[in-house]
Structure 1
Amino acid sequence: MIAKVQTIGIAKRYGGTTALEPTELSVQAGEFLTLLGPSGSGKTTMLQMISGLIEPTEGRMEIDGRDVTDVAPGKRDIGLVFQSYALFPHMTVWDNVAYGLRMRRMARRELRVAVDAALTMVRMNEYARRYPRELSGGQQQRVALARCFAYRPSVILLDEPLGALDKKLREHMQGEIRRLHLELGATFIYVTHDQDEALTLSDRICLMNQARVEQIGTPADLYDRPATRFVAGFIGHSNLLDGTFEAEADTGTAAPSAALRLAAGGRAPLPHDACAATTGTRGCLLVRPETIRLVDPDAGFSAGVISDIVFFGSDTRVQLTMSDGSLFNVRCARTEKPRIGERVGLLWDPQRTTLLDA
């Protein structure tokens, strides 16, 4: 099946600085793909090359199997939504949405239908005659989305469109964008540095770091099966436990079991699907905070002293200081009553952990 958007070895350099290493990326029709990563990871550079706003140094870009590397942005059937709403202050909401269609010389009757439909989609009909200064930030963002959706592009690029909104409104708009994606059926490529936003919205996530792709997969793939320490640390809350491999002595009653002798103290069994490693070599175990139970100090795989407790409403976040000075995080049910200064053991299901390279 031909990909909707495909990059083939696309890269960007500015003199001696590499903004994006040669990258292969394939996005299917109707997919919601998020480019996620810290500042400087290359995600916005990738988006701008897909849009045609900047030219790649090497490689090529295809849309629907057609090479568009040298095609102007306005001829790529792509819509763009930016963090800055870029609304014309002297135009009404209706005229802002109509502007792009007028530039495309759409017939007046079709234009009216398209603008009204776009405003209905983002639930802004009743504000059609207002000016941007009379709208809230969330309402202005809806207008920016309507302006993009009005001409029904098959690919929509969104560059941190919710970055200027407060937390409550941001969460609300995430739901709206997800709804609009399902309603439109278009291919969405979304840039953000917010991991929660990426997990909420995406069909797949392309996690980037230092101008290259670290891992591409579903939100569950990146959360449950991170490929690298960077992915494990960037997606969700995590505990990364370093240690050395050792095998339990073979007693003849069962196959020897591999474990990690932890630098933080204790011995952690490895998941069944972990690759065998030579005793004495180093490894790292990812343990998510929500998978851990607090037990008696001698009953866990490791132990630590509770150094901080933070109430989060739905749960309680407990931070422990381990014997090597490292910090360990646990999510507890509100029914549990941990105390600062208490020494506790840490127990978890080994099958819900992930073994990573040291």
Structure 2
Amino acid sequence: MFKLETAGLAKRYGETDALLPTDLQVRAGEFLTLLGPSGSGKTTLLMMIAGLVAPTGGQLFIDGKDATYAPPGQRGIGMVFQSYALFPHMTVHDNVAYGLRMRRTGSQDMARLVDNALDMVKMREYAHRYPKELSGGQQQRVALARCFAYSPSVILLDEPLGALDKKLREHMQLEIRRLHQELGATFIYVTHDQEEALTMSDRICLMNHARIEQIGTPVELYDEPATRFAAGFIGQSNLLAGALEQAGSFRAGQHLIPVPAEQGAAAPEGAVSLLVRPEAVELTAPEQGLLQGEISEVVFLGNEVRVLVALPEGAGHTETFIARCGRERQPRVGDRVGLRWELARSRVLHC
């Protein structure tokens, strides 16, 4: 039995589909991230799980029970918003205690649960401060503690780190991941940040145009994307458009590129795409490369260098190819180079 399951769950506003009929299964205790661009349907799905938006079709099950139209307070779900939604006139302690008070928790139990929740997020020493006296990261910790205090079995997080700077955001990603492991609750997390999803998730549900594009572990989505959209949205990608002329050969314009034989044999006739990740690409002498081009840009990234190579016209409808190399190499703009990769590190996409 899944902790949470949707069967054809859908939402329509007039003539617009905010979420097409969607089947999703969430395992107990897992960290599932809903990832996708704005308008992909991820927040609509989260709000229907929370009970804040009524579906126009389908069903929602929590612990095997139909919760499609159950009131939010009866779903056993906690929610953390991007805006934190703290009460400015209440102390940290009272903000965290609010949900417990609404559930008529006894005063002794309430004090213990509030202290435990604040200990989890390392905010107990700030219990008597007000939200205006806290940093953005501290306010986010309080919002998490308020949710954790009453021990919901499912916790929904709607882009909770969106307002934080990069360094604090990265720190909070690890903190939320640690808290998930301590609590053992089921987390469903919404973001449009691919790095955040890769860092935190057990599985990622990638959404596009109001439907699920692909579901899998971070490694599966990165190494085995099912579509061009998945390949382009998760990580940096080099995507060549072309066709398979015969098993083991991919034609991109004037270039004939070998591909893994099992992928070439399994692909249908007609247009396909070839995916090569930048970290798989090696810069060589022009005559040694599978493709040739001219370096158009060199970007220093600290521990590595990103190199953009301009390809000749007709090379798979792609103007540039991205490669990465160590700092010991000093590529220069204008150099002619070859691009080479191991065949096993390329992937044929059928759509």
TM-score by shorter chain over 0.5: yes
> Is 1:334–2:323 an aligned residue pair?
no
1:53-64 correspondence runs (5 A):
53-64=52-63
Letter in 1 for 2:121: V
> Is 1:85–2:75 an aligned residue pair?
no
- The offset of 1:314, in angstroms, is 1.2
Separation (CA, whole Å) in 1 of partners of 2:100 and 2:23 = 33
Separation (CA, whole Å) in 1 of partners of 2:268 and 2:217 = 33
After TM superposition, where is structure 1 displaced by more than 6 Å over at least 4 residues in a row? 277-280
Q: CA contact under 8 A between 2:267 and 2:350: conserved in structure 1?
A: no
What secondary structure sits across from 2:101 in the alignment? helix
1:272-311 correspondence runs (5 A):
272-276=261-265, 281-311=270-300
- Cα gap change, 1:280 to 1:95, in 2 (>3 Å): closer
* TM-score, L = length of structure 2: 0.97
Deviations 1:181-230 (A, max 9, x none): 00000000000000000000000000000000000000011000000000
Letter in 1 for 2:265: A
> Is 1:314–2:313 an aligned residue pair?
no
Q: State the match for 1:171 in structure 2.
A: 170
Q: State the match for 2:338 in structure 1.
A: 345
- Cα gap change, 1:112 to 1:355, in 2 (>3 Å): same
- The offset of 1:267, in angstroms, is 2.3
> Is 1:357–2:347 an aligned residue pair?
no
Stretches of structure 1 lacking an aligned partner (at least 5 in a row): 248-256
Separation (CA, whole Å) in 2 of partners of 1:165 and 1:11 = 32
Separation (CA, whole Å) in 2 of partners of 1:169 and 1:238 = 27
Q: CA contact under 8 A between 1:244 and 1:279: conserved in structure 2?
A: no
> Is 1:260–2:253 an aligned residue pair?
no
* TM-score, L = length of structure 1: 0.95
Letter in 2 for 1:171: E
What secondary structure sits across from 2:2 in the alignment? coil
Separation (CA, whole Å) in 1 of partners of 2:243 and 2:132 = 61
- The offset of 1:283, in angstroms, is 1.8
Q: State the match for 2:107 in structure 1.
A: 108
Q: Identity of aligned pairs, percent? A: 64
Separation (CA, whole Å) in 1 of partners of 2:309 and 2:187 = 41
What secondary structure sits across from 1:274 in the alignment? helix
Q: CA contact under 8 A between 1:34 and 1:205: conserved in structure 2?
A: yes
What secondary structure sits across from 1:97 in the alignment? helix
- Cα gap change, 1:243 to 1:91, in 2 (>3 Å): same
- The offset of 1:272, in angstroms, is 3.3
Separation (CA, whole Å) in 1 of partners of 2:65 and 2:349 = 39
Separation (CA, whole Å) in 2 of partners of 1:100 and 1:23 = 31
What secondary structure sits across from 2:249 in the alignment? strand
What secondary structure sits across from 2:94 in the alignment? helix
Separation (CA, whole Å) in 2 of partners of 1:117 and 1:65 = 30
- The offset of 1:246, in angstroms, is 2.2
Separation (CA, whole Å) in 1 of partners of 2:158 and 2:49 = 12
Separation (CA, whole Å) in 1 of partners of 2:198 and 2:283 = 28
Q: CA contact under 8 A between 2:310 and 2:319: conserved in structure 1?
A: yes
What secondary structure sits across from 1:109 in the alignment? helix
Alignment length, in residue pairs? 347
> Is 1:33–2:45 an aligned residue pair?
no
> Is 1:203–2:195 an aligned residue pair?
no
Separation (CA, whole Å) in 1 of partners of 2:75 and 2:273 = 45
Separation (CA, whole Å) in 1 of partners of 2:232 and 2:310 = 18
1:103-142 correspondence runs (5 A):
103-142=102-141
- Cα gap change, 1:30 to 1:280, in 2 (>3 Å): closer
- The offset of 1:347, in angstroms, is 0.5
Q: State the match for 2:45 in structure 1.
A: 46
Separation (CA, whole Å) in 2 of partners of 1:148 and 1:105 = 16
Deviations 1:235-289 (A, max 9, x none): 0000001122223xxxxxxxxx5211213x5322112330427898322100000
Q: CA contact under 8 A between 2:77 and 2:153: conserved in structure 1?
A: yes
Q: CA contact under 8 A between 2:285 and 2:338: conserved in structure 1?
A: yes
What secondary structure sits across from 1:298 in the alignment? helix
Q: State the match for 2:234 in structure 1.
A: 235
Separation (CA, whole Å) in 2 of partners of 1:46 and 1:278 = 33
- The offset of 1:4, in angstroms, is 0.2
Across the aligned residues of Structure 1 and Structure 2, the Cα RMSD in angstroms comes to 1.3
Q: State the match for 1:254 in structure 2.
A: none
Q: State the match for 2:215 in structure 1.
A: 216
Q: CA contact under 8 A between 1:269 and 1:350: conserved in structure 2?
A: yes
Stretches of structure 2 lacking an aligned partner (at least 5 in a row): none
Separation (CA, whole Å) in 2 of partners of 1:5 and 1:165 = 30
Letter in 1 for 2:249: A
Q: CA contact under 8 A between 1:13 and 1:20: conserved in structure 2?
A: yes
Q: CA contact under 8 A between 1:272 and 1:351: conserved in structure 2?
A: no
- Cα gap change, 1:221 to 1:280, in 2 (>3 Å): closer
Letter in 1 for 2:275: L
Letter in 2 for 1:329: I
